[in-house]
Chain A
Amino acid sequence: MERTVLHVQQIVKDFDSVRAVDGISLEAHRGEILGFLGPNGAGKTTTIRIILGILTPDSGDVSIQIGDLPRRYAKERTGYLPEERGLYPDARVVDALVYLAELKGLGRAEARQRVLNWLGRFDLTPWANRKIEKLSKGMQQKVQFIASVTHKPDLLVLDEPFSGLDPIHQDLLKEVIRELRDEGAAILLSAHQMSQVEELCDRIFLIHRGRRVLYGTLDEIKAEDGEHVARIRFDGPPDAVRTLPGTLDVAVDVDRASMRLARGVSPDAFVRSLPSEICVREISVTRPPLHDIFVRTVAGRGDANR
């Protein structure tokens, strides 16, 4: 079976005079989680809607390839957890979930069986026959997640799946997401918590003002960003670390210091350059967290390209 499930080529979408999506291209592969990131209003939701066939692009092309499944059945093989949650409030949990699974092409009996299994896994069995409006926010959230996976989609789009969940259920959800990945689904994960993205995602896609500004594996992106962050605890004169060659933004606080390494300065070179008059007690040299890369990339671009 093809490794790449989703091909998006140069899609453009205008709303009246505003260009929401401006020539986006990306791929999603089986067995990987692609972090789909962007600040609010960057065109994320519009892009997701186009990928899922909810909106049609003004130009460009989206193709979902699953074996030789005809294009018109593509919607049956995708799953979607929208950021704006909402289900039939007056319907029973089971009924709504079975219906949504049936729309994805499952037979009624099988849909029911799978829904009950999932409800069990998320501790919702006692609520199966309640009306959805009687459930708490977190429970509704879990119900909506179930709706996106009962048919075992080949392409799963999760928009802010963790919001509103307690830490225990966040962990459960992470486990389930990894499981679906291992079973061969291609997953697009959008989240504002960068630590969760770093934890789960293999590759990152960052959209800003309708354009792709970062795209690659987490390692590549961090390598490209180049600058390492060093933190040390030491005994010795603080002034000794203030003016080390190849360091920027040095901050010293009695016996601790943190600094960025200039582009091209390797951790090895940095460690060797440390002066002999200080005694190092703790040291870490790491790639910058995704959070910092996100903020710097988005802020750095500002309004310049408008």
Chain B
Amino acid sequence: MRIGRTTRWEITRALRSKQYLVMTLLIPALAAAGIVAATAGEARAALREPPPPYLIGVILAMILFIGAFMSGVMVLYSVVKEKQNRVVEIILSSVSATEMMVGKVLGQGAAGLLQVSFWVACAYAIASRFAPVSLAELELVHWVTYPLYFTLGYLFIASLYAAVGAAMKDIQSGGASGLVGLVPYAPILFAQIIITQPESLLVRLAGFFPPFVPSVMMFRIGAVPLVSNGLRQVPAWEIALSFASLLLGVVAMMRFAARIFETGLLMYGKSPSVRELWRWGLRRRR
């Protein structure tokens, strides 16, 4: 009941915030501008060639992951802001730290879902102007797994970022906890390898490590049909195993994050080290 109220409040605040509006509109606008610029000169002819079939899955994976990541950053931002302007103390006299965190994660998540749906619609509208895009290239596996990876991936990233935000002194001093927050983002640096060699052993193994599951697996599920021209897909057992691992990861991360959140929110002064964060996260609750 209280979580319902905090969630509703967070949704309203997210939807009304300037950052949300700017991000929602800016990213498709930039993408459109990029495509227009690219098709203006010589590249026009190259782009007129039909894109390789099955590219759509990879692009969708990219959009969804950026969406989950951005919404996670918004959670971090909102936690740091509320810590700085000291509203947390009053909120914590009404709800528990865990309720506050869950409300934030769910509220921002709902706003993020709306945002990412808008992006997907924009991407489809833009892409279909330049090339024949066929939704038929999306198989059942995409329709089923992408929303789940997005949701669970968001929950993982957002609860991690809620903890990181609670531990931060202010938005400038990322410090040690800021680096921790970059872990789920790491696979993006290797996106090219994941997309061109989605069936290599290392990439397959990375797909079972909870922080990497959402990005690596969405890319793999998009890229395997791409490199095999639609002949193969990621084996079902690998998908099942990755979900099991991610689900465990989400549960563990939410519990861990809730404790850091509880400890960090009312601490002002220096940002804690990674070792201190670890200790906070494992602290037993009385």
Using CB atoms and an 8 Å cutoff, list the residues of chain A in contact with chain B: 49, 52-56, 58, 75-76, 78-80, 82, 84-91, 99-100, 102-104, 144, 147
Contacts and interface: CB of A to CB of B under 8 A. Distances in A.
A89 B94 contact: no
Contacts of B86: 82, 84-86
B92 interface: yes
Given A56-B286, A86-B86, A89-B85, A103 B266 contact: no
Contact of A82 (B85, B89, B95, B96): B89
B91 interface: yes
A87 B93 contact: no
- Report the contact-size class of chain B (Cβ under 8 Å from the partner): 20 to 34
Most buried by A among B82, B87, B90, B285: B90
B5 A102 contact: yes
B87 A87 contact: yes
- Top 3 nearest A-B pairs (CB, nearest first) are A86-B86, A103-B94, A80-B93
A54 B85 contact: no
A86 B94 contact: no
B2 interface: yes
The main secondary structure of chain A at its interface with chain B is: loop
Interface of B: 2, 5-6, 9, 13, 17, 82, 85-96, 266, 285-286
A99 B90 contact: no
Contact of B85 (A58, A86, A103, A147): A86
Contacts of A102: 5
12 contacts: A52-B93, A56-B286, A80-B89, A80-B93, A82-B86, A84-B86, A84-B89, A86-B85, A86-B86, A99-B9, A100-B94, A103-B5
Nearest to A102: B5
A85 B93 CA distance: 13
Contacts of B5: 99, 102-103
A103 B91 contact: yes
B266 A49 contact: yes
Nearest to B286: A56
Given A82-B86, A86-B86, A89-B85, A75 B93 contact: yes
